[in-house]
Amino acid sequence: MLLRLCAAALAAATLTACATNPATGRREVTLMSEGQEIALGKESDAQVQKEMGLYDDPDLQRYVTGIGLRLAKLSERPNLPWQFAVVDQPAVNAFALPGGYIYVTRGILPYLDSEAELAGVLGHEIGHVTARHAAQQYTRQIGGTAGLIALGVLVPAAQPFTEASAQAMGLLFLKYGRADELQADSLGVRYAGLGNWDPEGVPDMLTTLGRLDEAAGDRKGVPNFLSTHPEPLARVKEIGPEVQKAKAGKSGFVTDRASIRAQVDGVIFGDNPAQGIVRGTTFLHPPLRFRLDFPAGWQVANSPQQVMSKAPNADVVQILQLVPQPQGSSVEAIGVASMEKAGFRLVRGERATLAGLEAHVGEYDGMVEGLGQVRSRATHVRHGDNVYMIAGLAAPGLFSEYDTAFTTSQRSFRPLSASEADAIKPARIALYTVRPGDTWQSLAARSAGAVTPAALAAMNHAEAASQPQAGAQIKVVVAG
């Protein structure tokens, strides 16, 4: 589908395609018709649902969709086949596909303190669609390279081992320029005001996300609103005149904190055990019944395709993921073949047993984009119907320094019993009335590491240096 759209777009370019931007009224060159926008959005939507999954909460989905549709009908492109969804991802993000497909992650919802802020987020993403920012990004990319540059979800070191870097998924994380972001902010303010939501929800939302950025609460390598929608705090001041314009001579705007708090009460926070869960530096996967301990002090990021950990202050990583296993092949053959496919040559290897499971451990040499020449210690282990690869990657000069950490971590792979798997529950958002003596530090401690004090403060529209007021109702994260 994407290649057909590329061909059609290039054919259109020979005719010097020019169109009027619906949101701005300006004439501009574009290589994507509205029909192509819709077709690409529909195709990519299927991939989003497959790769990310929709959050299993029909009431929450209806709530977000209802607000989104009200806003979309007030936009300059009300007749697009608008669709809105909450995807089952912990990252703090919202994004749009061409043609009217809008997504918010469940991870962003706890950080929105009112329905007006949710309207601001959805209005902002609607603005990217109505102003054809994604289509323009596509035009710029295809004009320079005759193909879309897919922006990876994980750091470049992970790329050789994953087959999930489809071009359509790259559309989700195109980083808009400052002008596009300000225009989407302005359109979000306009749509919110027309829908009778308080336009202050847009700068309020940007302020919270800016505080979260300062709190450094998001894992590196995970796409989030702060990386794909840059400089939220800097945009707060710039959007001020638009907010005042939208509010001029009007009153009775809706803020509505109660409705959104009721909706996020009980929402999963952080990883969903159904997709594997990170606790500290331990990765547990209840449905697949295994655990792996990554090196102590390393940062761990979970995604649907792979789990990656990174050493502090060094370009050294370790990756966990499933690998294809031809029927009847040994773990040794599967392991060597998968590494060769990724461009790695076996230096030495041996069969092994991990917690009673058949395994193969090898050292490999290869090249990795962003790291250059690397040495890898990779363990492949068969558990149930799957073969898992655990691969540590480091430059040859660093390999001996980190090999003990790789080896110790990879040897920690073991099955989970049924009772152990059943006992793993996700952290969730809960409403809580502050008691005397409570602090952000003490409240965050109840999450068993799922949220930092600074991020918890940002979740409740507070400065990290402040403390919660006794008697106030706030959102907290409760460990499973």
- Answer yes or no: is 88 within a domain: yes
Domain CATH for 396: 3.40.1000.10
Same domain, residue pair 458 and 358 = no
Among 211, 236, 264, the domain-final residue is 264
Q: Are residues 376 and 407 in the same domain?
A: yes
- Are both 104 and 123 inside the same structural domain? yes
Same domain, 160 and 194: yes
Whether 368 maps to a domain, the answer reads yes
Binned average pLDDT, 10 residues per bin, the chain of 480 residues: 39 47 63 82 85 92 98 96 94 87 93 96 93 69 32 31 38 60 91 96 88 58 46 82 92 95 96 89 95 93 82 90 83 94 94 96 89 92 95 96 98 97 95 97 91 91 92 94
Q: Domain boundary at 369, 388, 418, which?
A: 418
Task: For 339-398, write each residue's pLDDT tens digit.
Answer: 998 899 999 999 999 999 999 999 999 988 767 899 999 999 999 999 999 999 999 999
Q: Which of 229, 264, 299 is the last residue of a domain?
A: 264
Q: What is the pLDDT of residues 187-205, one digit of tens each?
A: 999 999 999 999 999 999 8
Residue 402 located in a structural domain:
yes
Q: Are residues 409 and 433 in the same domain?
A: no
Within this chain, do residues 214 and 315 fall inside the same structural domain, yes or no?
A: no
Model-level pTM?
Answer: 0.78
Which pLDDT value is given to residue 456? 93
What is the C-alpha radius of gyration for the chain, rounded to an integer number of angstroms?
Answer: 24
Tens of pLDDT, residue by residue over 375-390, are: 999 999 999 999 999 9
pLDDT of residue 44: 84
Q: Is residue 269 part of a domain?
A: no
Q: Are residues 148 and 231 in the same domain?
A: yes
Are residues 98 and 238 located together in one domain of the fold? yes
Same domain membership, residue 154 and residue 101: yes
Do 330 and 355 lie in a common domain?
yes
CATH number of 465's domain: 3.10.350.10
Q: What is the pLDDT of residues 91-146, one digit of tens each?
A: 888 888 889 999 999 999 999 999 999 999 999 999 999 988 866 665 554 443 32
* Domain range enclosing 353: 274-418
Q: Mean of the per-residue pLDDT values for the chain?
A: 83
Residue 209 covered by a domain: yes
Cα angle, residue 135 at apex, residues 130 and 138 outer, rounded to 5° = 160
Please give the tally of structural domains in the chain: 3
Residues 251 and 281 in one domain: no
Residues 193 and 335 in one domain: no
